[in-house]
Amino acid sequence: MININKATSNNLKYVNPLIGTGGHGHTHPGASVPNGFVVLGPDTRVEGWDACSGYYDSDRSILGFSHTHLSGTGIADYGDILILPKIGTMTLEPGTLENPDSGYRERFDKNSETASPAYYKVKLNSGIQVELTAKQRSGFHYYTFPENAKVNLLIDLVHRRDENTLSASLKVLDPYTIVGSRISQSWSPEQRIYFYIKIDKPLQKIYISTDGKNLNQLKSANSKQIQSYLELGEISNLKVRIGISAVDINGAQRNLAKEIPTWQFYETVDSSKELWREKLAKIDIKTENETDKIIFYTALYHTYKAPHIYMDVDKRFRGADGRIHTAGGFTNYTLFSLWDTFRALHPLMTLLEPSETNEYIKSMLIHYDQVGSLPKWKLGEKDVKTMVGRHAISVIVDAFTKGLRNYDNWWALGAMIDTMNRQEPELNAYRNYGFVPSDVDVNWSVSRTLEFAYNDWAIAQVARIFGNISLAEGYEKRSQAYRQVFDASQKLMRPKRRDGSWDNFDPFAAAWESPFIEGNSWQYTWFVPHNIPDLIQLMGGKSAFLAQLEKLFSLDSSQGNELPDITGLIGQYAHGNEPSHHIPYLFNFVDRNDLTRAYVKQILITMYKATPDGIIGNEDCGQMSAWYILSALGLYQVTPGTPMFDLGYLHFPQATIHLDNGKDFVIQKGNHSEPYLLNGQPVSGWQIS
């Protein structure tokens, strides 16, 4: 771990959590610590695609403050345990964005809002000042009220679930303690959240509703629909501490006792900020451009929002099998958006967080041990199976080839093999035909073929290192499946039928149910990260490849733009979605590093801003930000699974990565003939290991 000197480590001041909360970034500005389960902050909306995180920058009313939030996803979830301080009337209806005063929503002054990684503050129009901070599994609220205010505290266990709440409970243990739970389903099924709340002023009365209409004086209730008001009388301020757990109420209580044991709010803020200072000090950049510092360090902050810890302080966690387990010698994580993050977030973490990378892999292997497959997209304890490919394999192999092997290596190889050989429709088709045909009952046939081929190649790398040559050769042969869907006459990937005939297709078309997931043929043709030299030959050699690649960046951007995910267009290159992210670096493979540098520079400058809409597409659990971090450092990894980084455009005169082994990795701008200096030495070529 890096030893941080507060006097010299000031990168925290450059972080603006409001970046990405507008446009379609879908980030959340709530208080958190690095990789924390709790993200405590405001919920402003629950409907529509831009409600995925629960917060949207242009909204001017707040539903309340909940304790879990996703960052940058394209599907909504979380938003657990909503709490809202109120003055006067008790109402159970939340109200609407258009008419906040029709419910318990509170209007607020945008100018009163302050957000930093560990702290959130806002003043509601009712005169209530709200301050929030958090630890990994716990949150801390501090409310200040206007004079002579009669205060109530709303706890809403219906929020963001409505009819999707399976069961909920709430119980007052004493005038200072409230406990409860919510079991619900949304994107992820059967999510369990248990909570333990302490308040520093005694409640006078408690009212509970189990039908959304009537409030009754009760001390406990069990129902699918629980909302509660705690009546506190005239008080000038109130502190609320809450622990949460996916295991049980006892776990929530222990989490709170360990992480926030006292009522010292600002001390808690300071200690949480210190955790962020440590992470943000891992990279230092030299530049006089203050805006670039804000963009860079906010991006670095976003890369620590996922994965998040998913176990209690006593090491218990809820597994993928629904059972309670105790972690033996590892930290359990969840929120693996692997189709997104295998590309840049996890390669970045092999540099910044090698120990945690091992923990991520152990968490995936435990998931495999419990249900027989590595996760595709893990949320809570479940695999929600979103997107295509099996990219836990990529994360494991990339770490393995870089020497990060603090887990059972043979177990990992077996898990990867079992995952790629499961009896699932898309995998069955892939194995039976050598590609996924377009006329079987499976969507996204071309995307699946390309990504499965890459996954097979990744397995072959580990098999070959282990000396199992026959196994490696078998997977290497399968990894050539991309050839089956490459049409040499068009120099594009396209859907193919079982009988070998081509489907009619529009290479610009991008629809949800199509041969390509969240993209089109022009964007997916380049996804052969494991064998770019062969793709070059399939296209007819370097000149033909270069011509097709240049054409991609010059095509009409308006064609085929049917999905909201396809944003940030340069021609048909779409930076707002992940399939395009490696493409600017492919110019390197045909000796045109100058074009790689030019396009990477253009993307860095035009598609990342220090504004709420400053992320061009969904932030996707750190992937969009990790692309920025690596690319601004002059690095990218076209092929996760090899210990090689490709060189691009260094956005700053100098950058230093402080490695966990105590060494520094210094990248500097050179001259025209030698553009890069690494630790003071010129680099030949366009790759480093």
pLDDT for residue 512 is more than 80: no
Q: What is the count of structural domains for the chain?
A: 1
User: CB–CB of 231/152 below 8 Å?
Assistant: yes
Per-residue pLDDT tens digits for 207-223: 999 999 999 999 999 99
> What value does the CA radius of gyration of the chain take, rounded to a whole number of Å?
26
Q: Identify whether 202 is preceded by a cis peptide bond (ω within 30 of 0).
A: no
Residue 9 has pLDDT above 80, yes or no: no
CA separation, residue 422 to residues 209, 247, 361, 388, 394 (Å): 47, 30, 20, 14, 17
Say if 203 falls within a structural domain. Answer: yes
The 10s digit of each residue's pLDDT in 565-589 is: 789 999 999 999 999 999 999 999 9
Asked whether the predicted pLDDT for residue 229 surpasses 50, the reply is: yes
Does some domain include residue 630? no
Q: What is the mean pLDDT of the chain?
A: 96
Q: Strands 316-318 and 308-309: what pairing?
A: unpaired
What percentage of the chain has pLDDT greater than the value 70?
98
Question: How many angstroms separate the first and last alpha carbons of the chain?
Answer: 23
Which residue is listed with tokens 């603090």?
Answer: 406
pLDDT at 561: 65
Distance of alpha carbon 476 from alpha carbon 456, whole angstroms: 7
Inter-CA distances, 556 with 117, 562, 564, 623, 659, Å: 40, 14, 17, 26, 43
For residue 246, is it within any domain?
A: yes
Residues 175-192 pLDDT 10s: 999 999 999 999 998 899
Residue 8 has pLDDT above 80, yes or no: no
Mean pLDDT of 8-15: 86
Residue 5 has a pLDDT of 42
Distance CA 558, CA 566 (A): 11
177: CATH: 2.70.98.10
Question: Which residues, listed in sequence order, are joined to residue 237 by a DSSP beta bridge?
Answer: 144
Q: What value does the mean pLDDT take over residues 616-645?
A: 98
Read off the DSSP letter of residue 105.
-
C-alpha to C-alpha distance for 190 and 322, rounded to whole angstroms: 9
DSSP conformational letter for 65: E
Tokens 């990218």 appear where? 636
Residue 1 above 50 pLDDT?
Answer: no
Strands 138-144 and 237-245: antiparallel
The answer on pLDDT for 3 being more than 50 is: no
Could you tell me the residue range of the domain that residue 162 belongs to? 31-280
Q: Does 405 have pLDDT greater than 60?
A: yes
> Which of these, 84, 58, 86, 54, lies nearest to 71 by C-alpha position?
54
106-131 confidence digits (pLDDT tens): 999 999 999 999 999 999 999 999 99
Q: What is the mean pLDDT of residues 255-270?
A: 99
Residue 506 maps to a domain:
no
Q: How far apart, in whole angstroms, are the C-alpha atoms of residue 314 and residue 242?
A: 17
Whether 608 is in a domain gets the answer no
Q: Judge whether residue 6 has pLDDT over 70.
A: no
For residue 8, the surrounding DSSP H or E stretch is none
Long-range Cβ contacts of 547-556 (<8 Å, 24+ apart)? 548/491, 549/583, 549/586, 549/587, 549/590, 550/595, 552/522, 552/526, 552/583, 553/599, 555/508, 555/522
